[in-house]
């Protein structure tokens, strides 16, 4: 029986463990520093638990010692160090920690250890990359557009938004910039510098803002035009621009009553209770991909639309479902030998292998997550 070790028992990691625990050929071990969260999980599901500090090399090493494969679902701030430790231990891993460092810096180490390490394996980046990786094997892609995000189902959320992820990470993104490719050149634009709108079925009009979600695609894809846009309800971006212009997202410490504090940390602390999903509150995930290029000597455009909602029967947020199920699907793919390339693999590498995209889509479809495709 295979042992799957899930590092992190947060909103997404928990539901990855729950999903995989339904398989009869695997033992699932959930690892986190939060004993209460682990014990709640173990009371309801056939999941083993282990308390470790995953911010330490020793904790990660102990956690993965007997693993057949590892899933990384830890905060981005410790994701790279965790990945390096897992690779050094010679363990295959599928990761959704979305750390800021370049994972390809660990490529040689992974190859030396004979490790398959799939990174950024959620919904976007993740499933979208798998779809694109499949397309580049079949057509000459000239343009890739991605519109995506998870938002509260209610438009009346505080400040027009809620987040299943740490608020500080969201604010860091708002304070930063996004990379896109225009006419073959990488262009950097502030995330809040420009917006457009898009109309999507089941949701209506949403605002689109710049994102740095292309990540590995800038390195691995020779496509002259690519961008990803983050989706929000109209009005939210205007509020966040006011926050940024007023200095609430600044990262340089200022002195307040004799103490040095970063304004962005204070802002995150104040907003966190407002943006936290309460029990039973519903979210939704929307994604549109537009892939254009030449296929069999003719111009073709493929449009993919995905819509998913909070599942009240399991209590799983949609973002946990779409991100977690993609990660779980690729984990099974690696575990079962369907994908075995050694080294660092972003999800587009998985999509290039015959049958992998179909396997992942089938896994998600069995759980009610699917994309509608239209060719024009």
Decide if 307 contacts 286 (C-beta within 8 A): yes
Q: Model confidence over 273-312: pLDDT tens digits?
A: 999 999 899 999 999 999 999 999 999 999 999 999 999 9
pLDDT, mean of residues 30-50: 98
Q: Is the pLDDT of residue 239 over 90?
A: yes
pLDDT computed for residue 224 by the predictor: 98
Domain 2-122+320-375 has CATH 3.40.630.10: no
Q: Model confidence over 13-23: pLDDT tens digits?
A: 999 999 999 99
pLDDT computed for residue 364 by the predictor: 97
What are the beta bridge partners of residue 69? Answer: 4
pLDDT band at 164 (very low <50, low <70, confident <90, very high): confident
pLDDT, mean of residues 261-272: 97
pLDDT computed for residue 165 by the predictor: 84
Task: Check residue 368 and give left, alpha or beta (phi > 0: left; psi -120 to 50: alpha).
Answer: left
- From 143, 95, 103, 139, select the one nearest 121 (Cα to Cα): 95
Alpha carbon distances (Å) from 269 to 48, 80, 166, 261, 275 = 33, 25, 10, 12, 11
pLDDT computed for residue 106 by the predictor: 98
CB atoms within 10 A of CB 116: 22
pLDDT, mean of residues 85-100: 97
Side-chain-side CA neighbours of residue 128 (13 Å): 31
Superfamily covering domain 127-309: Dihydrodipicolinate Reductase; domain 2 (3.30.360.10)
pLDDT, mean of residues 251-279: 96
pLDDT band at 34 (very low <50, low <70, confident <90, very high): very high
DSSP per-residue codes, 226-295: EEEEEEE-TTHHHHHHHHHHTTTT--S-EEETTEEE-HHHHHHHHHHHHHSPPTT--EEEEEEEEEEEEE
pLDDT computed for residue 74 by the predictor: 96
| Tokens at 315, concatenated | 């209590």
Rounded to the nearest 10°, the torsion over CA 125, 127, 133, 136 is -100
Where are the chain's structural domains?
2-122+320-375, 127-309
Alpha carbon distances (Å) from 77 to 83, 126, 158, 358 = 12, 19, 26, 33
Q: Model confidence over 183-237: pLDDT tens digits?
A: 999 999 999 998 899 999 999 999 999 999 999 999 999 999 999 999 999 999 9
How far, in whole angstroms, is CA 367 from its chain's centroid?
Answer: 18
- Fold: same for 2-122+320-375 and 127-309: no
pLDDT, mean of residues 160-188: 94
pLDDT computed for residue 115 by the predictor: 98
pLDDT band at 87 (very low <50, low <70, confident <90, very high): very high
Q: Is the pLDDT of residue 238 over 90?
A: yes
d(CA 212, CA 346): 15
């Amino acid at each position: 029986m295979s042992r799957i070790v899930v590092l992190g028992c947060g909103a997404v990691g928990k539901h990855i463990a729950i999903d995989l625990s339904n398989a009869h050929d695997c033992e699932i071990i959930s690892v986190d520093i939060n004993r209460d969260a682990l014990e709640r999980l173990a009371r309801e599901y056939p999941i083993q638990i282990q308390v470790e500090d995953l911010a330490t090399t020793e904790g990660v090493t102990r956690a993965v010692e007997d693993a057949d494969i590892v899933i990384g679902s830890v905060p981005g701030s410790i994701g790279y160090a965790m990945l390096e430790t897992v690779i050094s231990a010679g363990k295959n891993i599928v990761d959704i920690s979305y750390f800021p460092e370049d994972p390809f810096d660990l490529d040689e180490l992974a190859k030396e250890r004979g490790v398959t390490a799939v990174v950024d394996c959620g919904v976007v980046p993740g499933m979208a990359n798998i779809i694109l990786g499949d397309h580049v094997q079949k057509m000459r892609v000239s343009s890739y557009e991605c519109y995506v995000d998870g938002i509260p189902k209610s438009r009346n959320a505080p400040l027009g938004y809620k987040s299943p992820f740490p608020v500080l990470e969201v604010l860091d993104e708002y304070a930063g910039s996004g990379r896109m490719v225009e006419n073959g050149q990488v262009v950097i634009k502030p995330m809040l510098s420009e917006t457009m709108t898009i109309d999507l079925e089941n949701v209506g009009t949403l605002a689109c803002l710049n994102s740095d979600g292309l990540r590995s695609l800038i390195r691995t894809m020779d496509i002259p035009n690519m961008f990803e846009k983050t989706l929000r309800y109209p009005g939210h971006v205007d509020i966040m621009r006011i926050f940024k212009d007023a200095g609430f997202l600044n990262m340089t410490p200022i002195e307040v009553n004799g103490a040095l504090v970063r304004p962005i940390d204070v802002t995150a602390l104040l907003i966190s209770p407002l943006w936290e999903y309460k029990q039973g509150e519903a979210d939704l995930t929307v994604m549109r991909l537009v892939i254009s290029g030449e296929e069999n000597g003719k111009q073709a455009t493929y449009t993919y639309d995905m819509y998913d909602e909070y599942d009240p029967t399991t209590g799983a947020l949609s973002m946990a479902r779409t991100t977690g199920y993609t990660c779980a699907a690729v984990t099974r793919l690696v575990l079962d030998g369907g994908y075995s390339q050694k080294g660092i693999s972003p999800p587009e590498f998985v999509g290039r292998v015959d049958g992998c995209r179909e396997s992942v889509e089938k896994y998600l479809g069995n759980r009610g997550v699917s994309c509608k495709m239209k060719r024009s």
